[in-house]
Amino acid sequence: MPDYILNNLNEIINGKEFDLEDYSSKIRIIPFTSLGKENGIILGLKADNVEIDLEENTINITDVIIGIYNGHLSKNGKYKALIGLDLLETSNIDNKLAVKI
């Protein structure tokens, strides 16, 4: 994904007209609700492939949507990504993951 799209995520989410070129098929708007935030929206990017590095193993997952959040997931900065449980269950791996995007 080109930097000019990644640098303008808020404008895209808020409906500003933006030239997405050939990337419009890779962009998804994802509604969410969380503690303290109702009716939230984040931008999702459809990745052809994601690599999950688990110590000495690398797991490739295809056709996955990555939600982009330009904030902190935890107060101490410990968490950098969230991974759906269905990916963990189908991959037969435990919870010690680092995600390369």
The whole model's pTM is what?
Answer: 0.61
Contact criterion met (CB below 8 Å) for 30 and 44: yes
Interval 3-21: pLDDT, tens: 887 788 778 777 788 777 7
Which pair of tokens denotes residue 21? 């070129």
Interval 62-79: pLDDT, tens: 888 888 777 777 788 887
Q: For residue 91, what pLDDT band results from cuts at 50, 70 and 90?
A: low
State the Cα angle at 21 between 17 and 26, rounded to 5°.
Answer: 95
Interval 19-66: pLDDT, tens: 777 888 888 888 888 777 788 888 888 888 888 777 777 878 888 888
